Amino acid sequence: MPGPIQSIERAAAILRLLSGGARKMGVAELATALGLPKGTVHGILRTLQHVGFVEQSPDTGKYQLGAALFHIGSSYLDVNELRTRALNWSDSLAARSKESVRIGTLHEGQVLVVHHVFRPDNSSQVLEVGALLPAHASALGKVLLANDPVDQLDPARLTGFTPATCTDPDRLRAVLAEVRSRGWASDVEEMVEGEVSVAAPIRDRRGVTVGAIGISGPIERLCGLAGEDAGTPRAELVSYVREAARAISRDLGAIPW
C-alpha cells in the first residue's frame, strides 16, 4: 500500500478551510493558513477549479466552494423528495400541455426517470418511474448534462437512435452550451422517430440543478407544422415547461427569476 498522496491531502485541507465559513479566501490567505508556498496553493486551486470543486470570484479573485461539491455531497436532494415537492406542478404541466410529463435526474451518465405523469387522455399507459433514458438523445438529459458541473459526457456512449441523434461530441457540446444559455432543451426525433420532448432545469436554493422536468409526445402536436416553425417546439408548450420548472424551483427555495 502506498502512503497518503500529499497533493490530495493538501487539496482536502484547502476545501476544509473554504468550508469553514461563508467567507471567500484569496491565494495568499490560504497559503499562510496552510504554511505552504503560494505557487503550490495556486496550482492546487487551479485543479480544483477545473473539476468544479472551487470557484473564483471574477471581481475579487478570491476562492469559494464550487457547485460540483454540493452536487456530490450529502445535501444532494433525495429523488423521492424531489417527486413529492414536484407533484402539484408536474400535474399542472400535464393538464395544461395535454402531454405526458417526466422528471429525471442524472444517474451514471443516463437519465433516471423519478416521476411520470400520464398524458391526460385516460388512455392506457404504463408508469415509467425507474426507467433509464439516454442523456444525449433526450431533452431531459440535455438539460441535465448542460447544467452538470461535472462533465459526464462520455463520447463512447453517444449511440445513434435515429438519423437526427447527435453523436458527435463537439457538436453536442455546442448544443449543450446553447441549452445552458437559453434555459431549456428539446429533442426532435433524436431518440424515437416521430417523437419530440422539451425540458427545463429544476434548481434548488443554491442554484444547483437537481433535476429536469419535461413533456414528450408526437411531433405533430409538439412542433409547428409548416414554414420556419416546422420541427421547432411550439413556444406555448416551451413556456408551460419552463413555468413548471420555475414553480418547482421556487418551492425548493431557488431565487425567483
Partner 1 sequence: MTTNTRDAAVSHRYIAAIDQGTTSSRCIVFDEAGSIVSVAQKEHRQIFPKPGWVEHDAQEIWANVLDVVHGALQKMSITVHDLAAVGITNQRETTVLWDATTGEPVHNAIVWQDTRTDQLVRELAADGGQDRFRARCGLPLATYFAGPKIRWLLDNVPGARERAERGEVLFGTMDTWLIWKLTGRHVTDVTNASRTMLMDLATLDWDDELLAAMGVPRAMLPEIRSSAEVYGHATGTLEGLPVASALGDQQAALFGQTCYAPGEGKCTYGTGSFLLLNTGEQPVQSANGLLTTVGYKIGDQPATYALEGAIAVTGSLVQWFRDNMGLIASAPEIETLARTVDDNGGCYFVPAFAGLFAPHWRGDARGVIAGLTGYITKGHLARAVLEATAWQTREVVDAMNADSGVELTTLKVDGGMTANNLLMQFLSDVLDVPVVRPIIAETTCLGAAYAAGLAVGFWPSTDALRENWHRAAEWLPATGDAADALRDKGYRKWKKAVQRTMDWIDEDDE
Pairing of β 209-218 and β 195-203: antiparallel
Cβ nearer to partner 1, comparing 6 with 122 = 122
Closest approach of Cβ 124 to partner 1, in Å?
8
Cβ nearer to partner 1, comparing 87 with 219 = 87
Are 63 and 18 spatial neighbours (Cβ–Cβ below 8 Å)? Answer: yes
Closest approach of Cβ 12 to partner 1, in Å?
26
Cβ nearer to partner 1, comparing 64 with 92 = 92
Closest approach of Cβ 112 to partner 1, in Å?
13
Closest approach of Cβ 54 to partner 1, in Å?
27
Cβ nearer to partner 1, comparing 6 with 124 = 124
> Cβ contacts of residue 203 below 8 Å, gap of 6+?
209, 210, 249, 252, 254
Instruction: Please return the burial class of 124, using the count of CB atoms within 10 Å of its CB with bins 0-12, 13-18 and 19+.
Output: exposed
Closest CA to 89 of 115, 121, 125: 115
Sheet holding 185-188, edge to edge: 132-134, 110-117, 100-107, 209-218, 195-203, 185-188
Q: Give the interface with partner 1 as residue ranges (CB under 8 A).
A: 78-81, 83-85, 87-89, 91-92, 94-96, 116-118, 120-122, 125, 127, 129
Closest approach of Cβ 171 to partner 1, in Å?
37
Amino acid type, 26: G
Cβ nearer to partner 1, comparing 96 with 242 = 96
